[in-house]
Homo-oligomer: A and B are copies of this chain.
Amino acid sequence: MYSSTRVAICGAGPSALSQLHAFESARKSGLQIPEIVCFEKQNDLGGQWNYTWRTGFDEYSEPVHSSMYKNLWTNLPKECSEFVDYSFDKHFGQPITSFPPRTVFSDYIRGYAEQNNVRQYIQFNIVVQWISYSEDKKKFNVLVKDLRKDETRSEEFDYVIVATGHFSMPNIPYFNGIETFLGRILHSHDFRSAQDFADKHVLLIGNGFSAEDIALQLYKYGAKSVTLSYRTKPKGFKWPNEVKEVPLLVKIDKETVYFKDDSSQDVHAIIFCTGYLHYFPFLDNNLRLKSTNCLYPPGLYKSMIWLNQPRLIYLGMQMQAFSFNVGNIQAWYARDVILGKITLPSTKDKMQFDMKLWQVKEEAVQNFPDKANFLKEYILDLIDATDYPRFDIDGMIKILLECLKSRFENLITYREKTYASTLTDTTAIQHHTPWLREMDDRLENFIRK
């Protein structure tokens, strides 16, 4: 049933689950598939969605993967991120709110994995430590560590698929005088509980998605003031009175922070909302993607196939929107490349030519609608090559842009809006309690029994 080809998948988050699903669905349809081994360092699947109270290092001294906080709710309607082949309706058997909390969303991801019967391929508590490619053997040497046994072993593979995400390793720039700061310093990666900042004055460095949502969390849970320091320009939201935006931080002196406009303030805590680094400490030089958070990472044909060694495939490395479906479509494409159903261009030059076209497109992107259209083009390009089901990408883009507009109008209430699924037409229900007053994020508070 399995061919002699061996494929290693690193990570068991959403992209990897899609990859397993892609292979499993081929197997179920009667095709011979390679031997698949998925290595996951955590003790369960879900990747980023595996919430943990831990920060820094886990119980096996591995870097904590998840950047999830206790009271996270999605900031985009679930209707934008629905797996095309697994609707929320199917999972919950009832309509739910458009902006579910973490607990609800991760239940859905788990359901996706279980219905696709992919757990069989995953080895948990196994971390990939080092991957190199042997030109002699034409194989990848994959060194993994069994965390429970505290033992390493090597295996050979024909293909490697890296699906370890890129929202895990904090980017923490230095600011003048930060070593004198008397309060707490953390990165959004280590943010867990907003309650912990009640009655505090908090500085957030950055004003991207992390900063915006953490600012709202802090406001909701009673911070005395929240200041967002932006590098380029303010978001211009109608913030609550307790929240404001200021220019870039230039200096810190004990409890006081100073900004580019010569204003200053005393704060109890500084939270770096300065994004994440593409981090692949387990990959040899010639295999390692070095990228910022962008739409078309360098060195990757179709944003996923490593130009210099096309048997190495990266999933989900671009900036994200519709990320589950992008991951799914990439997984389908990767599978078909490995199964030989898709033939890659015969030369590096030809691949580079294609990559160049996309890079030019990316350079032309100026705003959010541009980004969404870029992703649409990208999705259509990949879908054309596979049997992945077509879906209403325009409908999803419409929902995304509507949400961004409604968020701009009112940050506090935008999560009360409801959207209709592009898959099932079901309109989401409004949650019984507005986001600002809802302190009970448990699954059972959102799903009728």
Contacts and interface: CB of A to CB of B under 8 A. Distances in A.
Interface of A: 51-57, 59, 61, 63, 129-130, 143, 145, 150-152, 169-170, 172, 174, 178-179, 181-187, 189-190, 192-193, 195-196, 268-269, 277, 279, 281, 284-285, 288, 290
Given A61-B277, A196-B269, 6 more contacts: A52-B179, A54-B185, A56-B170, A57-B170, A145-B281, A182-B195
A174 B59 contact: yes
A279 B186 CA distance: 24
Contacts of A129: 130, 281
Nearest to A284: B152
A21 to B, nearest CB: 29
Identical copies of this chain, number: 2
B187 A56 contact: yes
A197 to B, nearest CB: 9
Contacts of A186: 55
A66 to B, nearest CB: 12
A349 B190 CA distance: 49
A53 to B, nearest CB: 4
Contacts of A190: 55-56
A43 to B, nearest CB: 12
Given A59-B174, A174-B59, A181 B284 contact: no
A193 B183 contact: yes
Contacts of A290: 150
A404 to B, nearest CB: 32
A56 B59 contact: no
